[in-house]
Chain A
Amino acid sequence: MNRAPRRVVITGLGVVSPLGIGKAEFWDALAAGRSGIARLESIDPDGLPTSIGGEVRGYDPKKFVPTSQRKNLKVMARDIQLAVGAARLVFEDAGLSDNRPDPQRIGIDFGASMISSELNDLAASAVRSRDAADQFDYRKWGTEAMGHMPPLWLLKYLPNMPSCHISILYDLQGPSNSITQAEAASNLAIGEAFRIIARGAADVMVAGGCDSKINPLALIRLCLLEACSRRNDAPAEACRPFDSDRDGMVAAEGAAAVMLEELEHARRRGARIYGELVGFGTGCDARPAGAALDGTGYRVALAAALRDAGMTPGALGYYNAHGAGTREGDLVEARALHDVFGDHAARIPVSAHKSGLGNAMAGCGALEFVAGLLALEHGLIPPSLNCPRPDPRCRLNVVTGTPRPLERPSFVSVNATRLGQAAALIVRKLEDA
């Protein structure tokens, strides 16, 4: 009924993460089963129930933008600075840094969160907004306080700015979108970019996501929801997806991008092809307000992605899980997997990369998608950390210890929000047509 969609392949990876910057460092850490979670260094966590996180260390954004654009780093929140690094790396990896595609045929679709302000940008104004009785005074806000904020404050924190800065840096004049759907944002952005190329609206798309929860206000928000692990004395062991002793997620930061490209466009320029994006599906729990999640979002998303890919669960090489390490969340995910995959659910290898990366929310899907693509490239599934006592209620075949051979050259990657908004992507090694 519809036009035959064009085929879409992945031709580049860029990653700025707690497990390294660039795909080589990232893969080495994943394959070695290292954890990127440690006691927080960039902010003082004293006073918070959590003192650990997945921080990106040793990242100098100046090295990732041209000299002429360095002044713009001042108006980029941390999330955006991480994103421009991932963008630089993805262009290099795809071999498109000096050999740019037609600007009108390349676009961007990037996930981001509501970005929390740095406290220092608001503190000088806050202290000037008090009246004699130490109450907030709107009159003083206007007359004495607001002028102490940076003039471009708003632009530094708008969630569409990762897309906009990257489009400016790399002259991406084609379709441009910014998805703000919490943990599902990256997968939705990658899936949407896939559709954009498939229908012919662009030939090449930069897709991915970024986030930084390593910010006092962002951490307070997560802690208030009692979402975070309390294993402060053992950071590397804190995030335990599908383990019986899991007790919550670990906040993190990071950005990752992939270069999606129409198959013939990639072939003509002799690009290295990591795999073909063959399936995308999204769904939502849609449970009444206050009701517990039931995994409908996962089920609808996974079933749609499989149907889209024309694949059965038995053909999947591994399940790249959302697996944030929360008590209820992991169980809901595992049950949905059993519902959709049937007998295959207990057999398919499962790895939850948040176990070492933490949860970079709007960026998590892109980071984990890149991990999946590297697994495909190396033919090895990197282990899920901290699962010595698999939760018997989850009944999953979690890859632990050392990397396991990837027997079927494909994977499915899933992420979901607190409201059960889920998105799934399926990649398969390119089969020569």
Chain B
Amino acid sequence: MKATRRRVVITGMGMVTPIGNSLDETWDGLQNGRSGVARITRFPADTLPTQIAGEVKNFRLGDFVAAPESFQHCGHNTRYAIAAASMAVRHSGLDPERIDRTRLGVYLGSGEGQQDFENFITILAHASSADGNVDVPRFNRLGMEHLHPMRELEQEPNMPSGHLAELFGAQGPNSNCLTACAASSQAIGEALEIIRRGDADVMISGGAHSMIHPLGLTGFNLLTALSTHNKNPASASRPFDGDRDGFILSEGSGVVILEELEHARRRGATIHGELIGYGSTADAFRMTDAHPEGRGAIAAIRGALADAELTPGDIQYINAHGTSTGVGDLVETVAIKAAFGAEAYRVPVSSIKSMTGHLIAAAGSVELITCLLVIRDGVIPPTINYEHPDPQCDLDYVPNTAREARVDVALSNSFGFGGQNVCLVVRRFTE
């Protein structure tokens, strides 16, 4: 029965990351073990516990759209999404004018835009007494006077998906999910289902996010989730390494064009791979901690494999969630071992977050694109900064240098804060 369901292929890819503002530049960086992590330049972070991040560099929206000023109030999420989607659409050769636009949709896993932080905090300070009691009417008046309507509106996380629909005339299904670090993988998984079911033929999908702003950094620092290896930014993100001490906040966007196979064939599109498996689960355990035995992660891996009608022996590469946190990397290792059994020690597992840092909602989209490039070029990007083996993390993490290997099937893991887990499986396209 399953053989009759519609097949979904990837016909376009685009990304903006801390190591490059294009597919090629990012991929080159990943293969060469280049880190995109450096001291924060966006605001003075010198007195925060964490002073480093993976910022997107030398980004110009004007390189991607004719009238960048019409997006002046948008957050970095929308700007990066526009760039990545423009690249992906061009890469796909798709002309949105020539397809049924009610069958073209957008599903993103985008985070919120940036709060107008200095302005907001100034207003709040002026409305508060020295001991922190807020005079709400005064806050109301100052807010009405000093906050900018569009800058406030553009913070809503549905704005990137709406702006992409505007740019490409996508009148079909339109959604945005925000399941923390799993969001863009989840968006791609649900977009896959939308096409499989026949509710659309082409979906622009992925994610975009930037939490490199004072409240983002502060919020994660208060949770003690971030690395404080401030002196050595390039080696701060150390997934699975014995000295890992937290993740690195970064930003960017990854967008793929998902297309129903016959639709892609009819227009002679180049097919970069087939999306064949999606699994979504929840830990249902604790708000602040992953389930210690990886219960939800294991179920997500199994769900994606079952959806793909594959077994662990078929997987030739795992792109790990691998954020460089003590518990997270351990639990992911435990989960891979439980789901893969003896096969766990055979499969290469790498975390590109060692180079890109953690793009939060956008992470999964960039990592799925990486899997497609691994399949295309036969090169597995390394986990860099792997120097001190952790006896509890004993898989093949492709340490420090890229490895040539033919890969036909890859699994991408994304595990969100709060226990939402998503796994995707992609395969080299064959008839």
Q: Which residues of chain A have a CB within 8 Å of any CB of chain B? A: 1-3, 5, 43-49, 72, 75, 103-104, 107-108, 112-114, 119-120, 122-127, 129-130, 136, 138-143, 146, 148-155, 158-161, 163-165, 167-168, 170-182, 184-185, 188, 192, 195, 199, 201, 216-217, 219-221, 223-226, 281-290, 296-297, 300, 304, 417-421
Residue pair B295, A181 in contact (C-beta under 8 Å): no
Task: State whether A146 and B222 are in contact (beta carbons under 8 Å apart), knowing that A172-B284, A180-B177, A282-B173 are contacts in the complex.
Answer: yes
Which residues of A sit under 8 angstroms from B281, Cβ to Cβ? 104, 107, 173-176
Contact of B132 with A160 in the complex, beta carbons under 8 Å: no
Q: Is B267 an interface residue (CB 8 A)?
A: no
Q: Which residue of B128, B137, B157, B288 is within 8 Å of A123 (Cβ)?
A: B128
Residues of chain B with a CB closer than 8 A to A221's CB: 147, 149, 152-153
Q: Does B138 contact A (CB under 8 A)?
A: yes
Residue in B112, B193, B221, B417 whose beta carbon sits within 8 Å of that of A155 in the complex: B417
Which residues of chain B have C-beta atoms less than 8 A from A104's C-beta?
281, 299
Interface residues of B in 273-293 (CB under 8 A from A): 280-288
* Cα-based distance from A419 to B170 in the complex (angstroms): 12
Residues of A within 8 A of B172 (CB): 282-284, 300
At the interface, yes or no: B122 with Cβ under 8 Å from chain A? yes
Chain A residues, Cβ within 8 Å of B43: 138
Q: Which residues of A contact B169 (CB under 8 A)?
A: 286
* Contact among B163, B288, B295 for A152, CB-based, below 8 A: B288
| Assembled-state Cα–Cα distance A125/B219 (Å) | 13
B2 — which chain A residues lie within 8 A by C-beta? 3
Q: Is B125 within 8 A of A159, CB to CB?
A: no
Which residues of B104-127 have CB atoms within 8 Å of chain A's CB atoms? 105-106, 112, 118, 120-122, 124-125, 127
From B4, B131, B285, A168 is in contact (CB under 8 Å) with B285
Residue of A130, A199, A224 touching B152 (CB-CB under 8 A): A224
Partner of A163, one of B175, B179, B190: B179
**Interface presence of B311 (CB below 8 A):** no
Beyond contacts A47-B137, A142-B46, A192-B175: 5 other A-B pairs, Cβ-Cβ < 8 A, are A2-B6, A123-B125, A151-B222, A284-B170, A419-B165
CB distance from B88 to the nearest CB of A (A): 17
Verify B179–A165 contact, CB threshold 8 A.
no
Number of A-B contacts (CB under 8 A): 319
Taking CB atoms, residues of chain B closer than 8 Å to A285 are 165, 171
B163 and A143 contacting across the interface, CB-CB below 8 Å: no
> A182 contacts which chain B residues (CB < 8 A)?
156, 158
Task: Evaluate contact between A46 and B124: CB separation under 8 angstroms.
Answer: no
B71 at interface by CB-CB < 8 Å: yes
Give 5 pairs: A residue, B residue, CB < 8 Å, sorted on A: A5-B197, A155-B288, A181-B175, A289-B166, A419-B166
Take A285-B171, A300-B102 as given contacts and tell me if A180 and B176 are in contact as well, using a CB distance cutoff of 8 Å: yes
B282:A160 contact, CB within 8 angstroms: no
Known: A3-B2, A139-B46. A165 touches B128 (CB 8 A): no
List, in ascending order, chain B residues with CB within 8 A of A176's CB: 179, 280-282, 419-421
Known pairs A152-B223, A163-B420; A168 contacts B286 (CB<8 A): yes
Q: Which residues of B contact A188 (CB under 8 A)?
A: 175
Query: Contacts A123-B134, A155-B223, A176-B282 given: A181-B152 contact, CB under 8 Å?
Result: no
Complex CA gap A45/B102 in Å reads: 43
Pick the residue among B6, B132, B177 that contacts A179 (CB under 8 A). Answer: B177
Minimum distance in angstroms from A26 CB to a CB of chain B: 27
In the complex, the answer to whether B418 meets A158 with C-beta atoms within 8 Å is yes
Q: Are A126 and B128 in contact (CB under 8 A)?
A: yes
Do B420 and A2 have beta carbons less than 8 Å apart? no
CB neighbours of A43 from chain B (8 A):
136
Question: What's the dominant secondary structure at chain B's contact region?
Answer: mixed
Residue of B2, B5, B173, B196 most packed against chain A (CB within 10 A)? B173
Q: Please, what's the 1-or-0 string for B289-317, where 1 marks a CB less than 8 Å from any CB in chain A?
A: 00000011001000100000000000000
Q: Interface majority SS on A: helix, strand, loop or mixed? A: mixed
Most chain B CB atoms below 10 A, which of A1, A48, A146, A171: A146
Which residue of A is nearest B138, CB measured? Answer: A47
B70 touching A289, Cβ below 8 Å = yes
Q: In whole angstroms, what is the CA distance A167 to B287 when docked? A: 10
With A45-B140, A282-B173 in contact, is A154–B280 under 8 Å at CB?
A: no
Q: Which of A48, A123, A283 is close to B173, meaning CB atoms less than 8 Å apart?
A: A283
Query: Is B222's CB under 8 angstroms from A153's CB?
Result: yes
Contact flag A138-B45 (CB < 8 Å), given A3-B5, A127-B125: yes
Residues of A near B199 (CB, < 8 A) are: 281-282, 304
Which residues on B sit within 8 Å (CB–CB) of A181?
Answer: 157-158, 161, 174-176
Residue of B1, B71, B157, B288 near A289 (CB, 8 A) is: B71
| Contacts A46-B140, A139-B46, A225-B149; A114 near B156 (Cβ below 8 A) | yes
Looking at the complex, which one of A122, A164, A179, A296 makes contact with B287 (CB distance below 8 Å)? Answer: A164
Name B375-425 residues within 8 Å CB distance of A: 416-421
| Cβ contacts B186-222/A at 8 Å (1 or 0 each) | 1000100100111100000000000000100011111
Residues of chain A lying within 8 A (CB to CB) of residue B120: 217
On whether A297 and B171 interact (CB within 8 A), knowing A1-B4, A289-B163, the answer reads yes
By a CB distance below 8 angstroms, the chain A residues around B5 are 1-3
Chain A residues near B219 (CB, 8 Å)?
A: 149, 153-154
B58 interface hit (Cβ, 8 Å): no
Most buried by B among A125, A182, A418, A419: A419
Asked if B268 is at the interface of the complex by the 8 Å CB criterion, the answer is: no
Given A138-B214, A160-B179, A177-B177, A107–B280 Cβ distance below 8 Å? yes
Q: A220-B140, A284-B165 are in contact. Are A195 and B193 (CB under 8 A)?
A: yes
- Residue A119 contacts which of B124, B168, B417 (CB distance < 8 angstroms)? B124
Task: State whether A225 touches B179 (Cβ < 8 A).
Answer: no
Q: Could you tell me the distance between the alpha carbons of A168 and B288 in the complex, rounded to whole angstroms? A: 11
Smallest CB-CB A-B distances: 4 pairs: A142-B47, A154-B219, A47-B140, A164-B418
Interface flags for B211-252 (1: CB within 8 Å of A; 0: not) read 000100011111100000000000000000000000000000
Residue of A1, A164, A195, A296 near B282 (CB, 8 A) is A164
The reply to whether A173 and B296 form a contact with Cβ atoms under 8 Å apart is yes
Residues of chain B contacted by A180 (CB below 8 angstroms): 156-158, 176-178
Interface centre among B129, B143, B285, B416 (most CB of A within 10 A): B143
B166 contacts A72, CB within 8 Å? no
B429 within 8 A of A: no
A119 vs B286: C-alpha distance when bound (angstroms): 26
User: CB < 8 Å: which of B47, B183, B193 contacts A138?
Assistant: B47
Chain B residue numbers with a CB within 8 Å of A113 are 156
